[in-house]
Amino acid sequence: MSGSMMSNVGNRQVYEAGDQRTNKSTDTDPREFAYEEGQKNSHKLDDPKDQRSLANRLAAAEKKDREREDHSEAGDPRAPAWHHGNEPSKGAKIDAELQKEDEELLARKAKKGTDAMTGKKN
């Protein structure tokens, strides 16, 4: 007896070879379409051999600068909520208060001109 005859799952007719193989006409090689679709990261912003216009390069550089400025804005923890037109969360408000207190403490220490760090021996 063959191994498929001893199977307890279904009958042999379910496992015919024709059901398991695909038709050659419907089988397509995914590499054939690789150049029809855009390749990911195919255009580097600073690539001198890229044939984009100077205006497109300038626009991409400005966009990159704007994105960098948006992400570097770590001043106020409430700012992201305000930028989206929402009220800041309770945690963001508390963080802003703590940040303000820390800045005031550092300003007082700088005004004294001494290192008034607690626990530090002179």
Mind listing the pLDDT tens digit of every residue in the chain (122 residues)?
Answer: 555 556 566 666 666 665 555 556 555 666 665 556 666 666 666 666 666 677 877 888 888 877 766 555 567 888 888 888 899 999 999 999 999 999 999 999 988 876 556 666 65
**pLDDT given for residue 55 in this prediction:** 80
Q: Give the SS3 label for residue 49.
A: coil
Residue 93 forms part of a structural domain: yes
Token pair belonging to 12: 């042999």
Residue 87 forms part of a structural domain: yes
Token pair belonging to 87: 């009220």
Residue 43 forms part of a structural domain: no
Residue 98 forms part of a structural domain: yes
Residue 101 forms part of a structural domain: yes
Domain count, the chain: 1
Residue 26 forms part of a structural domain: no
Give CA–CA dist 95/101, Å, rounded.
10
Domain that holds residue 83: 79-111
Residue 62 forms part of a structural domain: no
Give CA–CA dist 105/111, Å, rounded.
10
